[in-house]
Structure 1
Amino acid sequence: MGSTAPAGNGNNTKKQVTLFKVSPYMVIPSRVGGFSLYLKQDNRVVLYAERGELFTEEHKARLAMLDVDYLYIEGTDYSQYMSYLQENILELLNDESIPVKERARVWHDATVSLAKEAFDTSLPAPIDKRQFKRIQSLISNSLKFLAREDALKEMARFIKDGDELFKHGIAVMVLTITTLGTIVKDNSDLMVAVGLGAIFHDIGKLELPPELFRKRFDTLSRRDQDLIKSHPALGVGLCSSLPLPQETLQCILFHHEREDGLGYPSGSTGSMLPTYVKILSICNEYDNLTRGVDGRKKTPFEALTHIKSMRSSYDQEMLKRLIAILAKANLT
């Protein structure tokens, strides 16, 4: 959270600025920060590192010697800090010298930043921005499941080997949670579980050759089609050692099931699928179409028209809810 305080160099003070806490572990030697860093000492805020300054081992050693719990950045530098965090997230998540709690916070901050980008792109004004607070809270609450060494390693692999899958998952999460929020008002545990399932729904693709997903599905051999259809079960297998809620695993396993039973991997029909899975499957298809995953990138209107044409495949009531949200955002 941001706070307001005077920033100074120890002798002079500057005007009141909004400050955000950041972890001292975010200072990575041999990296240049596009933001200024401040310390709080004796109720004053003092400059620690100038914007554009190269971080060194000396910076890290000095922070350790001072036993600093937090550094601070100005609100005007927040976007530059988030870019720095996203660029270095793999190194931070894989650095076992950093406490698990701090590395989990790295994932949290980077995910919130990407979710904000997805929210502003997918659901621009006049969507009520308070809805993003719900998404931000959901990501924060998910840390109780992810602040573990094994979970952090899996997340690092997901980001490293499936960067676009990760961004796609976050975009699908934003759409899914916003749509589910028109039905569920106060069940935060369910929201967290479904949000995690949306983010990681395609994680099983990491177990398959990436070239499989660069071709149109209908041009593949039967064997390759069967391999692709295995990715939901592979995803559950990857996550089986993590203490994830049942709803999260259902999202991963069933996100390609269809109302008419022609989906995979189990061929379940709509009557067997939870509402949140039905919403996720629609939002997944919509984001894939607007990203152009299978060919030409479709406009929101074209994507929704395509989904509406597949009446037997998707829950029409859940589709209407997504359309209403996108119509409010002037995207239909």
Structure 2
Amino acid sequence: MLRSASALPFDDIRALVGEMPGPDETAALAIRAREAQLTKPAGSLGRMEELAEWLGAWQGRSMPSVNRPLVAIFAGNHGVAARGVSAFPPAVTQQMVENFAAGGAAINQICIAHDLGLKVFDLALDIPTGDITVEAALDEAGCAATMAFGMEATAGGIDLLILGEMGIGNTTIAAAVSAGLFGGTGSDWVGPGTGLDDAGIRHKAAVIDEALAHHAGHLGDPLEVLRRLGGRELAAIAGAVLAARMSRIPVILDGYVATAAAAVLYKLDPSTLDHCQFGHLSAEPAHGKLLAAMGKTPLLDLGMRLGEGTGAALAAGVVKAAALIHTGMATFAQAGVAGKS
């Protein structure tokens, strides 16, 4: 399956995309057949029915279940943060990683509420990526190695992967990557991030425009967009999404930053994200625009923009419920209830 646990050159990443497995159609058919017999009007559970089929088809289970879910948070620091694009200093990334370890963050509480495992991956926080306004964030070897590291999130027999991130300055990176992939200027893709005022947002947009101008002519390849304008947490998320696909593990992605990472794979091949759900619509303004560009509909809309996997983890509770509804409900025959005449 995966060619190496070490750095993968971009050609090998493209080869993996070409080798992706599809869903288990036999499982999908069995789920649809059982769905039609459950004690409810057809279609009355709406998207919950679709989620049960999606989950089982990618797991290869006619009776979908979530037994070993994992929230993976990738944390990275960015050279562009020195340009004043965030309301918080870069040191907060490390401090929040320590808060996750101590159990004091919002994501810890959501994981407890929904019985989700949690792992946090520190991506060389003491070595920020390059300032994208004057240089590439990563070289090809470093970007590929980080993608390979992200692939390790699928180890251990998990059956649902929930992906989030932490990194001061990374909504700037998400906006730059979105513009590099789908066009537009900084102002088309920026938002307040951790709490910028209007002047801060204008400055953030100008910084992104500097980066787009510096890398102009090199953004036709999505992987080049990732390495030039992205960051380690985005590269790791992209690697995790691809590895999950190769292992038939369903994925739930968090907000703007995680979606920008996944968009790199989408631009390589739109079908790369068929095993993914988008957990929520972030209040970061451009997230909805990015989802629309890929034709994706989020599961939740709670006005959140915290990051750290929180929206995706809440959505995991919905996915777990969809599986339990499908497998635990009685059929009309089992319950002795008259079906539709």
Question: When the two structures are superposed, what TM-score results if normalisation uses the length of structure 1?
Answer: 0.24
Larger Cα Rg: Structure 1 or Structure 2? Answer: 1
If asked which structure has higher relative contact order (CA below 8 Å, sep 6+), I would say 2
- Which protein has the bigger helix share? 1
